[in-house]
Structure 1
Amino acid sequence: MSMYLWPLLFTIFAWWFGTGIILFLNQRSPTTYQGTFWLSGCVMLFAIVGIKTSSSMDTVAAAYCGFTCALLVWAWQEIGFLLGFITGPRRIACPPDARGWKKVGFAFQTIQHHEIALIVLAIVVTVASWGGVNQTAFWTFIILWIMRQSAKLNLFLGVLNLNENFLPNHLKYIHSYFSRSLMNPLLPISVIAATVVAVPIWQAAFAVGASPYQITSCTILGTLLSLAILEHILMVLPISSEGLWRWSFRA
């Protein structure tokens, strides 16, 4: 049973602690932003090398390495976005009269550079892991990417919990592009579709004759996707997830 427990706990810890560290770095003085951004970029370069190296090995350690390195690559663009380096050409609040596709266009302009960065990083991760027996890093990044896009769309269409404290003061204008409502038509589709994908991943983890690598990799990916599903559900529940990272916020 420990073959499932350790990758499950490791994934939960990495998701929780990694998010907290990024939020903490974002709460520091703006004078530290540039140094933090470039340092995280150096870490990302080492992570890409780690993805390339681990992709050729189907071992338990390689699965952990691929997952961790993919998270470090993902962290770079998260830090770049929250610190304001990778956002978009539009950095003002949404006009009150903007509706429909006009609002969609304005909203995209606020995150345009961020979206381009995600596409570039997805290509880099794909190339780094191409042809390898260990695709944990690739699927980690794809899960993060797709579920983040889903979260953005649901925030735009309307959810109950907007998690306002996750955005720093210099990005507060982005909240004007969000909508608050009890539910939107996309959210149940997002949850159901992600669950349909998560089920076979967990089935592969518990398959008879599964290798230690397969168990570890599938448990990591299944846990990560399940956490993303939980985050979507929390969007429409009267429960804020901000308390999980209260330690990372500063007054």
Structure 2
Amino acid sequence: MTSWIVPPIYAAFIWWFSTGAVLLLVGRRGRSDGLRAVSAAGLLAGSLAGLALSSNDPSPGGAYAAFTCTILLWGAQEIAFLAGWVTGPRPRFCPAGVRGWTRLSLALQAILYHELTLLACGGAVVALTWNGSNQIGLWTFAALWVLRQSAKINLFLGVPVTNDELMPEAVQFLKTFFARKPVGAFFPISVTLATAVLVIMIQRIVEVAATPFDVVGLTLVSTLFALGVVEHWFMLLPLPAITLWGWGMRSPFPPEDNIMENGPDAKPASVPPNLVVLSSVRPEAAPAKTQSHCARQRLEDQFRQRFLEQNARSDLPAALGIGAEPAATVNGRTS
């Protein structure tokens, strides 16, 4: 009974947790390049060693080990890809208005190195498990590769929901190659074929699997395949995938680290926008009002001073009781 219940739960958990862990690691900002490199290298070395050791272990434990190591190998190359280290010879945005074969060519140039890396990883899995009695690692990698290629083609041709909010900053340029529109003919074809393969795999579990190793291995791979089909349906349904991996999108750095990276004069990210607007408007409005008031005050002072000066010239002799000056004088005498 354990061979039927535990594998689906384990496969679903490792699929969910590994995706979120990669997003969390790649989404780290600042001083995390070294951590990403060490993690990717460790996962690569450990997964390849585990595949080599489990290739001749036809037991339920060997099936779990091969499946897990393949997921870790996939995670290592995903870290390199999502961190922007292994993308393509032209990792830039798609120009506006590009259509047809030109757009396809630019899209391939944006991810060519990544695709070659996937083929290299697949070749390593084949070499390590060749003639081995445990082929679960190869089946797992083949399922991941087929489903990933189908998802990429659908995103390129057009789907209603792209879920591109999961993409880290280093590969944001890939979003410009996604087409958000009603699905075409490729989506139903790809989903139908994937569902048919899934039905065949489930049929083999029920009718052909004779040992616990066969049951566990086929159940692990078929569960992963089913989850991949569900991911395809995420492209149609208004159910954001971030609800599943939102914990992987959170920044692990506190605000103090962001301030240290941006400098001591940087404003905290948590400052409400209205406070920023007020702080930028009030200092400008206050000086403008003060200048106009001062100019008006100066004009009033000048007018008042001129008025007082004119009145002072005419009213001062009368106020002192002095008679008017003679109209004219000749040599100091009045005429």
Shorter-normalised TM-score: what interval? over 0.9
SS of structure 2 residue aligned to 1:133: coil
SS of structure 2 residue aligned to 1:206: helix
Deviation at 1:30, TM superposition (A): 3.9
SS of structure 2 residue aligned to 1:170: helix
Percent identity, aligned pairs only, is 37
Contact persistence 1:156–1:177 (CA under 8 A): yes
Deviation at 1:246, TM superposition (A): 1.1
Contact persistence 2:55–2:66 (CA under 8 A): yes
Structure whose CA Rg is larger: 2
What aligned pairs does 1:135-154 form with structure 2 within 5 A after superposition? 135-154=135-154
The size of the alignment, in residue pairs, is 251
Distance (whole Å) between structure 2 residues aligned to residue 92 and residue 208 of structure 1: 49
Counterpart of 2:59 in structure 1: which amino acid?
Answer: T
TM-score (norm 1): 0.96
Equivalent in the alignment of 1:9: 9
Contact persistence 2:43–2:75 (CA under 8 A): no
Structure 1 gap ranges (5+): none
Deviation at 1:92, TM superposition (A): 1.6
What aligned pairs does 1:115-130 form with structure 2 within 5 A after superposition? 115-130=115-130
Equivalent in the alignment of 2:207: 207
Residue deviations 1:133-180, cap 9 Å, x none? 111000100110111011000000001111122111222111111100
Structure 2 gap ranges (5+): 252-335
Equivalent in the alignment of 2:244: 244
Equivalent in the alignment of 2:59: 59
SS of structure 2 residue aligned to 1:31: coil
* CA-based RMSD: 1.3
Deviation at 1:60, TM superposition (A): 0.2
Distance (whole Å) between structure 1 residues aligned to residue 23 and residue 43 of structure 2: 17
* Residues 1:249 and 1:131: Cα distance change in structure 2 (over 3 Å): same
Deviation at 1:34, TM superposition (A): 3.6
TM-score (norm 2): 0.73
Equivalent in the alignment of 2:24: 24
Distance (whole Å) between structure 1 residues aligned to residue 169 and residue 70 of structure 2: 28
Counterpart of 1:204 in structure 2: which amino acid?
Answer: R
Equivalent in the alignment of 1:101: 101
Equivalent in the alignment of 1:45: 45
Distance (whole Å) between structure 2 residues aligned to residue 54 and residue 249 of structure 1: 33
Structure with more relative contact order (C-alpha pairs < 8 Å, separation 6 or more): 1
Equivalent in the alignment of 2:301: none
Equivalent in the alignment of 1:173: 173
Deviation at 1:207, TM superposition (A): 2.4
